[in-house]
Amino acid sequence: MDAESLLLSLELASGSGQGLSPDRRASLLTSLMLVKRDYRLNCMEWSLLPPATDEMMVQTSVVKGRFTGDPSHEYEHTELQKVNDGEKVFEEEVVVQIKEETRLVSIIDQIDKAVSVIPRGALFKTPFGPVHVNRTFEGLSLSQAKKLSSYFHFREPVELKNKTLLEKADLDPSLDFLDSLEHDIPKGSWSIQMERGNALVVLRSLLWPGLTFFHAPRTKNCGYIYVGTGSEERTTGPGDPALKQGAEGWNVQMREDGGWKWLWEVTARSPLRKATSCTQMRAAHRSGSPTHLLLAAPQAEELTNSFQ
């Protein structure tokens, strides 16, 4: 949300129960104003965070649990590293120190990339490439506002390139130049609902609980705020020992399904009969961080258990 409309934005986003107390609101406004003026780094404890890198993401992905609130706090992570000592190869436990600051940066970057939202039409792209703010944007209409397809990921498009010509045929190249939320994987990772008697549309991310996007239809008011624990909803991966233990007698296998989407099938087969039972868990594999599997939020719990 913009600094200019901070108060209004906070008011509109308050439906999720998270906000800022009056004193924080006031001090934030003051300090944002100062940041804007001279980009001073240390006015009321603002500190510039280093830009996030992929390396950081891999490094911090092993840290679990909550933030402490102290950027200089160091998490300790023990990992096994293979050490070549002459001919012998043995594993050695190495304690890795990870600063909370690094983790914070990485999480902020992940949230920005995963769930920052902008309504369709708020930006437009010229044929030459530059993207401009659409000054004629007057907000979505009420019927548009209820559809997920009217909202875009505010990041470099990723999925758009993979679309077929047929799918692209209906798109307006000047407006539809970003990834729509509609085709997010896992499906159903957004909650969209109308509040205040249909006067406000609110999107909440289920992957990053705490992210609230709001938009008052037919006005320019829109924005998003994240107030949460900085943890993503995930499910376990196939290598998880808990799963292996639980899945005794079951055959757990990964199956690739279209690009980077993975199906994780847990099947049991009997030597005499055809499949006696089959349970399927869906998990979406995220490219770049093979250690984690996203939870297909609402579906993952809905395991089908069919006995044939």
Partner 1 sequence: MGDPPPAPDLSARQPSSRRSSQVSEQRSQERAQLPPAVPDGVQQMPLDAQVLRSSQEILESQANLQSWSQGASLSPYEQLAMFQAEEAQLGGMEYPSLNRGFPSEFLPQPYLDGGGIQVPGNASLMQQLQQGRGNVFQELESAYQEPRPDLLGQFSMYQREDLQFSASAQHGPYMSDDPALQFSPSELGFMSFSMQVPEPEPRELAVQNAKAYLLQTSVNCNLSLYEHLVNLLTKILNQRPEDPLSILESLNRTAQWEWFHPKLDTLRDDPEMQLTYEMAERQKALFVRGGSGEGEQDMEEEVTETAVPNIMETAFYFEQAGVGLSSDESFRIFVALKQLVEQQPIHTCRFWGKILGLSGSYLVAEVEFREGEEEVEEEEVEELTEGGEAMEAHGEEEGEEDEEKVTDVIPKPTWKPPPVIPKEESRSGTNKFLYFVCNEPGRPWTRLPHVTPAQIVHARKIKKFFTGHLDAPVISYPPFPGNEANYLRAQIARISAATHISPLGFYQFGEEEGDEEEEGRAGRDTYEENADFEGIPVLELVDSLANWVHHRQHILPQGRCTWVNPLQKTEEEEELGEEEEKADEGVEEVEQEIGPPLLTPLSEDAEILHTSPWTTRLSCSLCPQYSVAVVRSNLWPGAYAYAIGKKFENIYIGWGHKYSPENFNPSLPGPIQHEYPSGPEIMEMSDPTVEEEQALKAAQEHALATAEEEEEEEDEDEDEDADD
Residues 225 to 264: which contact partner 1 by CB under 8 A? 228-229, 233-236, 240, 242-243, 246-250
Q: Phi/psi of residue 200, each to 5°?
A: -150, 130
- Of 43, 96, 104, 206, which lies in the binding site for partner 1, with binding defined by CB under 8 A? 206
- Of 5, 6, 18, 28, which lies in the binding site for partner 1, with binding defined by CB under 8 A? 18
Per-residue binding letters, 94-133, with partner 1 (x by CB under 8 A): ---------------------------x--x-x-x-x-x-
Alpha helices in 116-147 (DSSP H): 142-145
Between CA 150 and CA 141 the distance in angstroms is 10
Count residues binding partner 1 (CB under 8 A). 71
Shortest distance, position 234 Cβ to partner 1, whole Å: 4
Between CA 170 and CA 120 the distance in angstroms is 14
Q: Phi/psi of residue 9, each to 5°?
A: -65, -45
Residue 47 exposure: Cα atoms within 13 Å on the Cβ side: 9
Shortest distance, position 101 Cβ to partner 1, whole Å: 19
Which positions from 51 through 80 interact with partner 1, judged by CB under 8 A?
64-66
Prior bond of 186 cis (ω within 30°): yes
Per-residue binding letters, 134-153, with partner 1 (x by CB under 8 A): x-x-x--xxx----------
- Of 30, 53, 193, 219, which lies in the binding site for partner 1, with binding defined by CB under 8 A? 193
Between CA 112 and CA 16 the distance in angstroms is 19
Query: For the chain, what is the radius of gyration of the CA atoms?
Result: 23
- Of 24, 36, 40, 168, which lies in the binding site for partner 1, with binding defined by CB under 8 A? 24
Shortest distance, position 246 Cβ to partner 1, whole Å: 4
Element (H, E) at 29: helix 22-38
Query: Considering beta carbons, is residue 65 or 258 the nearer one to partner 1?
Result: 65
